């Protein structure tokens, strides 16, 4: 059992508030991913959970016990640092066994635990080497091994893959998913990469400016982003976000975009006529059709093999991306019309928050 | 044959050796001439007091030196002095560096004061210690002893070599502090935090993480200090003049005494050659340990 509970956690550096009241309930054996842009306070949050940073206010509980004032090594956590933070003067085996040595575990037991972890991570041939003699991916595995050996209740990862090249990152991502399955431990993982978040997480926590923006399963967040921030952050390529004004008639609602084109909305949102709204369309929900409501010129076509991205400059100057399978729907320079499936349309109000799709409220006046 | 300028680097076309030659030749002359002269003089009968004496004597100067108990006394004193000052400056320098690495009010001034002795000239600092601190009548230490009712120590008479060592150490501790402090500051913060999460705190953190990180800088401190400590002279000259008797005569001071007090250039040169050999033996071991330490 290992749950982690954050209750109105705040962090100030002097007068600068970096984490602005975070509430989060992390369940046992959950793989939770904190995702957000650089500088939003993810690392600070993780370091507060680890005990490396004091908590300015709020309560942190592990397994229901308040641990705000418990030393880092007594919280039963293990952390994998972005820089790996291996001890350069120790062999791989000594690196991995260091925590056990500090805890006074006898040598024989220590060695067997190190060997077990090395087997899981395929590090056995490298146990006698120094970290300096390993490749980036191997160092990463040693850092993970150092965490595994301690058999912690909770694993903390701070952007563990950001120093690896693309191919290795993908491989390690799969390995981490396997590891979570094998170890059956609670994992808290920090990243700015939404692909890692989508692929690894049981639940994603989207952080923005020191606050939690949205918590939910990856597909749930993908399908129902609560704000333009989440909508733009989760999903690759980015969701198309087009600003416009709401125009309601008695029987229909339309978004009038900057270039004057009208997009029919599926429902009548509970907003006033003329309110500034943003419509969001996933690139895969946008189609090139002759009778589309939007018009624009194709500027770039990117062939990614299995899929093709067509970037279109709308008449208003806004950019939109269309994702299709192998074949490009149009050539560069061509003028095309874009159609939107109203059911796959996201609608955000003047404050950038999502307008509930089921909201059928009649507008006043 | 025409070379294609765009594909070939210009490196092989120009011989760079002649360009290096002036400095290399200058340094070579700078080193070779005194060495050759010393070797030459060490095999001559050459006394400034006796113009009639002269001529080649082979290794007789060396034989004379090696049968002189003064040489071994001087060698032992040199080794004690160098080793003692090395240990003191590394241990105390380490303590100072750790202290100065902490956050406390007035840290900038404390750092400056701690480094300051390094910039005081050896003669000046020796005079300060001799007349203001260790003087049996006027010195601060004597005053403190008297105030406490303890017997007054005449430092340079009773503990001559130790007293010289204290002065030299006082000058070299700042150097060790400076090097070790910079090294401490380059210790990866993540590494320390990882160790904290692994349960290493206080002394154990120091023993398992900080000290291994400092190993390299400690080696460098030891190497550089050894080079300078082997030739300590001014501090001895100003305070004890090698005495009482020969109690604080080191190898460089012995050479000085023989050459400039006895005016025997032949013996002094032989002593110089022994000093060179000694320095090379030390250098050999140092370079070996260092290349081992730096080779990580
Ligand atoms: N020790 C510190 N002192 C002052 N400000 C800090 C400190 N550490 C981080 N910050 C600030 O807190 C904010 C969040 O930092 P961080 O948690 O590292 O962001 P992230 O990991 O999401 O990129 C940043 O704006 C950063 O400048
Ligand atoms: Mg970070």
User: Closest Cα partner for A319 from A283, A355, A269, A345?
Assistant: A283
Q: How far apart are CA B117 and CA B96, in angstroms?
A: 13
Q: How far apart are CA A312 and CA A300, in angstroms?
A: 7
Q: CB–CB of A294/A337 below 8 Å?
A: yes
| Mean pLDDT computed over every residue of chain B | 84
User: Quick one: average pLDDT of A243-265?
Assistant: 85
Nearest C-alpha in A relative to B195: A99
Give residue A18's pLDDT: 93
Assigned token pair, B19: 């360009």
The single-letter DSSP state of residue A70 is S
Helices B17-41/B265-294 angle, 10° precision:
130
Give residue B295's pLDDT: 56
Site to probe by mutation for ligand 1, drawn from A9, A10, A13, A15 as the one with most ligand atoms within 8 Å of Cβ, is: A13
Q: Please give the order of strands across the beta sheet that includes A253-257.
A: A262-264, A253-257, A240-248, A276-281, A345-348
pLDDT digits (tens, 9 = 90+) for A291-350: 888 889 999 999 988 899 999 998 888 889 999 887 878 889 999 999 888 888 999 988
Which CATH architecture best describes the domain B42-295?
A: Orthogonal Bundle (1.10)
In sequence order, the 6+-apart residues with CB closer than 8 A to the CB of A144 are A80, A121, A160, A176, A179
A-chain residues near B186 (CB < 8 A): none
Is residue A93 predicted with pLDDT exceeding 60? yes
B190 touches chain A (CB under 8 A): yes
Q: For chain B, what are the domain ranges? A: 42-295
Q: CB–CB of B75/B66 below 8 Å?
A: no
Give residue B267's pLDDT: 82
**Probe site for chain B from A48, A67, A81, A105 (most B CB atoms < 10 A):** A81
Is residue A208 predicted with pLDDT exceeding 70? yes
Q: Whose CA is nearest to atom 11 of ligand 1?
A: A18
Nearest C-alpha in B relative to A53: B193
Give residue A91's pLDDT: 92
State ipTM: 0.81
C-beta atoms of B193 and A83 within 8 A? no
pTM above 0.95, yes or no: no
**Probe site for chain A from B187, B198, B203, B214 (most A CB atoms < 10 A):** B198
CB pairs under 8 A between A and B: 62
CA B161 from centre of chain = 15
How does strand A31-35 pair with strand A203-208? parallel
Residues of chain B below pLDDT 50: 1-8
Give residue B5's pLDDT: 43
| Mean pLDDT computed over every residue of chain A | 89
Q: Note the ligand closest to the C-alpha atom of A158.
A: 2
Q: List the domains of chain A with CATH numbers.
A: 4-231 (3.40.50.300), 239-361 (2.40.50.140)
Give residue A210's pLDDT: 92
> What three-state secondary structure class fits A59?
strand
Name the most confidently modeled range: A140-149, A253-262, B259-268. A140-149
Give residue A168's pLDDT: 85
Is residue A180 predicted with pLDDT exceeding 70? yes
Q: Which helix or strand (DSSP H or E) is residue B93 part of?
A: helix B69-101
C-beta atoms of A85 and B198 within 8 A? no
The single-letter DSSP state of residue A131 is G
pLDDT digits (tens, 9 = 90+) for A62-74: 998 999 999 998 8
In sequence order, the 6+-apart residues with CB closer than 8 A to the CB of A49 are A4, A6, A60, A77, A154, A156, A188
B-chain residues near A89 (CB < 8 A): 212-213, 215, 296
């Amino acid at each position: 059992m290992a749950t982690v509970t954050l209750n109105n956690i705040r962090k100030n550096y002097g007068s600068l508030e970096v984490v602005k009241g975070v509430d989060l309930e992390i369940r046992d054996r959950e793989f939770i991913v904190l995702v957000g842009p650089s500088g939003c306070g993810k690392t600070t949050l993780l370091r507060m959970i680890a005990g490396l940073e004091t908590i300015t206010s709020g309560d942190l509980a592990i397994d229901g016990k308040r641990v705000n004032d418990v030393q880092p090594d007594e919280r039963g956590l293990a952390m994998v640092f972005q820089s790996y933070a291996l001890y350069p003067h120790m062999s791989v085996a000594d690196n991995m066994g260091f925590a056990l040595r500090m805890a006074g575990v006898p040598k024989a037991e220590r060695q067997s635990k190190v060997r077990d972890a090395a087997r899981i991570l395929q590090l056995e041939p490298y146990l006698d080497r120094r970290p300096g003699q390993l490749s980036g991916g191997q160092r990463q595995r040693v850092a993970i091994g150092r965490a595994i050996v301690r058999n912690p209740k909770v694993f903390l990862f701070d952007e563990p893959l950001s120093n690896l090249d693309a191919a290795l990152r993908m491989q390690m991502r799969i390995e981490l998913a396997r590891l979570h399955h094998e170890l059956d431990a609670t994992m808290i993982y920090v990243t700015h990469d939404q692909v890692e978040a989508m692929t690894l997480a049981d639940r994603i926590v989207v952080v923005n400016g020191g606050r939690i923006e949205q918590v939910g399963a990856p597909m749930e967040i993908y399908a129902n982003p609560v704000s333009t921030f989440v909508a733009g952050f989760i999903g690759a390529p980015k969701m198309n976000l087009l600003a416009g004004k709401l125009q309601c008639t008695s029987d229909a609602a339309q978004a009038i975009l900057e270039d004057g084109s009208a997009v029919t909305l599926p429902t009548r949102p509970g907003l006033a006529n003329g309110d500034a709204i943003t419509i969001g369309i996933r690139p895969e929900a946008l189609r090139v059709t002759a009778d589309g409501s939007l018009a624009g010129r194709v500027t770039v076509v990117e062939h990614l093999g299995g899929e093709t991205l067509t970037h279109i400059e709308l008449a208003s100057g806004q950019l939109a991306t269309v994702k299709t399978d192998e074949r490009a729907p149009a050539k560069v320079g061509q003028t095309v019309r874009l159609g939107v499936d109203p059911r796959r349309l996201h609608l955000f109000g003047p404050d950038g928050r999502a307008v509930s799709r089921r909201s059928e409220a009649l507008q006043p006046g | 044959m025409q070379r294609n300028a765009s594909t070939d680097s210009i490196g092989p076309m120009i011989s760079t050796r002649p360009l290096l030659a002036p400095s290399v030749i200058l340094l070579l002359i700078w080193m070779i001439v005194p060495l050759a002269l010393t070797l030459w003089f060490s095999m001559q009968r050459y006394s400034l007091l006796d113009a009639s004496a002269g001529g080649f004597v082979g290794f007789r100067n060396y034989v004379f030196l090696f049968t002189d108990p003064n040489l071994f006394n001087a060698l032992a004193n040199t080794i004690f002095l160098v080793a003692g000052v090395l240990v003191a400056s590394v241990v105390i320098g380490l303590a100072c560096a750790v202290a100065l690495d902490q956050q406390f009010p007035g840290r900038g001034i404390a750092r400056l004061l701690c480094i300051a002795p390094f910039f005081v000239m050896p003669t000046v600092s020796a005079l300060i210690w001799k007349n203001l601190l260790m003087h049996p009548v006027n010195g601060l230490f004597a005053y403190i002893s008297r105030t406490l009712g303890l017997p007054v120590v005449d430092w340079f008479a009773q503990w001559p070599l130790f007293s010289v060592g204290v002065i030299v150490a006082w000058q070299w501790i700042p150097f060790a502090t400076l090097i070790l402090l910079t090294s401490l500051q380059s210790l990866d913060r993540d590494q320390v935090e990882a160790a904290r999460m692994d349960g290493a705190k206080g002394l154990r953190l120091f023993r398992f993480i900080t000290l291994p990180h400092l190993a390299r800088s400690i080696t460098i401190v030891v190497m550089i200090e050894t080079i300078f400590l082997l030739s300590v002279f001014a501090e001895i000259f100003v305070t004890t003049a090698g005495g009482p008797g020969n109690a604080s005569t080191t190898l460089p001071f012995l050479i000085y005494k023989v050459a400039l007090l006895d005016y025997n250039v032949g013996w002094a040169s032989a002593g110089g050659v022994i000093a060179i050999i000694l320095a090379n033996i030390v250098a050999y071991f140092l370079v070996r340990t260092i290349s081992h330490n730096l080779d990580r």
